[in-house]
Structure 1
Amino acid sequence: MDLSILRPSSGSTHPRKRVGRGPGSGHGKTSTRGHKGQKARSKIHKWFEGGQMPLVRRVPKRGFKSRFKQKDLIINIDDLNIFNREKIITPEILRASGLVKGRGKIKVLGRGRLSRPLRVKAHHFSKQAQEKIEEAKGEIEII
């Protein structure tokens, strides 16, 4: 048997329907959409559910997003290695050095390693960050 003679079985494939290409094609003018009506228009939106009440409108409204919510500014342990051990690291110093931008509260996370003992003042510390600072003989102070 030669693979070049393989053909799909008869009736399993159909020619492509070219619509909107003139009256001679048999699918001109209305292009198989019928006359007028919602389904004859250019598109049906993906959230359209056939006329029944859409899911978004069936489910009740719940809660709201606060316009005034502030995210914590995040800094990791390995970012603190640029500081000397004499300095007490405060949020003002972190902002001045460019490590954090913005006016929110600062949270220290535990990614990386601390190479020297440091005194760090911040609003929040993760458990891992707290352990790593104390392991390096440093101190933390929650503001």
Structure 2
Amino acid sequence: MSEALKVHDLKPAPGAHKKKVRKGRGEASKGKTAGRGTKGTKARNTVRVGFEGGQMPLIRRVPKLKGFKNPNRVEFQVVNLDKLGELYPSGGEVTAEDLAAKGAVRAGRPVKILGTGEISVAVQVKVNAFSGSAKEKIVAAGGTAEQV
């Protein structure tokens, strides 16, 4: 009667596991050039980032632009007075949330009212900013312009 096979007796087939070749790690290893060929920059591990083999690098070929872009610039979504007249024909209270609900602006961004066009109804506008002419026209029509 043969002995039962146990888990601790299992082992891989001969030749199934080979040791990893560690190139360039001392005299007993696959030494000398370690798979890098002979001489040249690539054999020496000294190629810096952006180096193009002596060709004028991209960063120096591209023109430098004057000025700068202000990272703190506040970009307003604009709504003109004639659009306010269309959206609120009977007047009433206007907020940035109302304008977003009606699809005039996107929610969560600052809104500015500009003075293009005329408005004949009294509206109570509460938004982030107004142009001077817009404020005058809203007050002249009997409304109020309040900056939030």
Q: TM-score, normalised by structure 2?
A: 0.51
Q: What are the superposed Cα offsets for residues 1-42 of structure 1, whole Å, 9 maximum, x if unpaired?
A: xxxxxxxxxxxxxxxxxxxxxxxxxxxxxxxxxxxxxxxxxx
Provide closer, same or farther for how the CA distance between residues 130 and 62 of structure 1 changes in structure 2, counting only shifts above 3 A: closer
Aligned residue among 108, 112, 129 for 1:107:
112
Matched position secondary structure for 2:99: helix
Give the structure 1 partner of residue 78 of structure 2.
Answer: 74
Question: For residues 10-25 of structure 1, what are the structure 2 equivalents within 5 Å?
Answer: none
Deviation string 1:89-127 (CA, Å, 9 cap, x unpaired) is: 010000000011242100000000002111101100000
Q: Is the 8 A contact 1:133 1:140 kept in 2?
A: yes
Q: How does 1:52-131 map to 2 (within 5 A)?
A: 56=63, 63=68, 66=71, 69-81=73-85, 82-83=87-88, 84-85=90-91, 87-131=92-136
Letter in 2 for 1:104: R
Stretches of structure 1 that go unaligned for 5 or more consecutive residues are 1-52
Q: CA shift at 1:56, angstroms?
A: 3.4
Instruction: Letter of the 2:84 partner, please give it.
Output: L
The code of the aligned residue for 1:142 comes to: Q
* Match of residue 34 from structure 2: none
Residue type at the aligned position of 1:76: N
SS at match of 2:108: coil
Q: Percent same amino acid among aligned pairs? A: 30
Write the mapping of 1:26-37 to structure 2, written as runs, cut at 5 A.
none
Aligned to 2:47: none
Runs of 4+ deviating beyond 3 Å? 53-57, 61-65
**RMSD of aligned alpha carbons:** 2.6
**Structure 1 match to 2:138:** 133
1:31-50 aligned within 5 A: none
Tell me, what secondary structure is at the counterpart of 1:56? coil
